[in-house]
Amino acid sequence: MSSLDLSIVDQQTTALWDGLVPVLSEYIAIPALSPGFDSDWAANGHLDRAVDLITSWCRARSIPGKTVSVHRLEGATPVILCEIPATAGAEDAPPVLLYGHLDKQPEMEGWRDDLGPWKPMLEGDRLYGRGGADDGYSAFAALGAIEAVQAAGGAHPRCVVLIEGSEESGSPDLPAYIEALAEVIGTPQLIVCLDSGAADYEHLWLTTSLRGMAAGNLTVRVVEEGLHSGGYGGFVPDAFRILRRLLERIEDSVDGRVLVSEAWVEVPPETQAALARAADRVGAGRVGEAPLTPGVDPVTGDDPLEALLATTWRPQLTVVGQDGLPPTARAGNVLRPETTLKLSLRIPPKVDPDVVIAALELALTTDPPHGAQVTFSSGGGAWGWAAPPTAPWLNDALQAASDRFFGAPALEFGEGGTIPFMAMLGQRFPGTQFLVTGVLGPHSNAHGPNEFLHLPTGRKVTAAVAAVLHAAAQPH
């Protein structure tokens, strides 16, 4: 079978990324919020604008036999599917599935004065704006890697590129598409996910675990209308105080330890050892890069291993939103009828989110203080994911690619975020290999203000994927 000229892969991916800034900037300018943050997404049309932009670019690529289609199930966000036939001699190799998403997180506050979520700005090697790194670049990188293989005289199996539109909402639309497109997808030998992170910009980083999530809204109601706090305070229970007491049932407010036993799992010994090896680089990086307000200490102290464990294999609760509390400028002395908190509980791999959600509801609604009306409505959940052992052929390809394009070995780490697609496919294809990687390195700030795409890392990741696709075409 043909060999892959890595110098041409270098040239091809460099040329690709030199020309991507305009189209990536156009994508960033589209406020294509995930449906969980835009209930009128269909009418607003921003997701469709992103679909049109990406499909137009994909259709213009000169890849023999390529097909590009948009699939729309009733009531669901659209999915882009690109199918590229195997090169000559690789027809018998099992297919490869490459995954990304085009929907985005909300704007978030705190952007630099000269930046904004829908205002692309190139500053050195950084392209600022929402969604470029998380993970609008993925479709361009996936097809760019395939182009590079072909330009460099290499081989690749049949490739399917799937770009979804609901990942930031937990991928609620994706299972139905996976069923509907099962015949096209087939049984992949390898799934490439370009939606993950990197602990630095000097290595190819391989994500070996992802946390899941259990979410819901906790509401406390105490009166039927607002009351003057001077006339009734001390007699009528305060809804926020009740919320504080309820949260103490599921989280220790002193150290943040989650008190729901169903949300914990024992860390496998081999994983514990791998985390210990990565702690000095990855854990220390997390401790060092967090923009803590002066004087604020990390919950885990300065221990890099504890930081890494806390953000990968331990549950963690965050109150991410609220209803019922007025802005301080308009807050009168009133006892509010009700207050709602939106809870997000990150859960380790292998923990069932439905079991955790049921445990949360039981803990929060049983025997409420003062007999308050307490409800917990599920916001949905997602499984975490732990990678299967890496096959020798894939490990060899990854190390060679990282050495060639990054000038350093490939390294592994766990991520604290959730990519529902990984758990879904891990369960569906237990014999499949995974390459989960991405460009979200230090300070790139996905979901937060000042998100940026580090262009050189995008280029190197694209080149590395090209090398892995060539390896997947070889007998192994």
Query: What pLDDT was estimated at residue 392?
Result: 97
pLDDT of the residue at 474: 96
Q: Which whole-number Å values give the CA distances from 323 to 129, 220, 224, 374, in the listed order?
A: 28, 11, 16, 14
Per-residue pLDDT at 280: 84
In the prediction, which pLDDT does 275 show?
Answer: 85
Ranges of the chain with pLDDT below 70: 1
The phi, psi pair for 37, rounded to 5°, reads -115, 0
In this structure, what token pair is assigned to residue 260? 């729901």
**pLDDT (0 to 100) of residue 325:** 95
Query: Which domains are seen in the chain, by residue range?
Result: 6-210+384-472 (3.40.630.10), 212-276+303-382 (3.30.70.360)
- Residue among 234, 222, 84 at smallest CA distance from 148: 84
Q: Classify 84 as helix, strand or coil.
A: strand
By DSSP bridging, strand 67-71 and strand 126-128 are: unpaired
359 Cβ neighbours under 8 A, 6+ residues apart: 260, 261, 262, 263
Q: How is residue 386 written in tokens? A: 């732990």
Q: What per-residue confidence (pLDDT) applies to 73?
A: 97
- Interatomic CA distance for residues 373 and 220, integer angstroms: 6
Q: How high is the pLDDT of residue 1?
A: 59
The reported pTM is 0.86
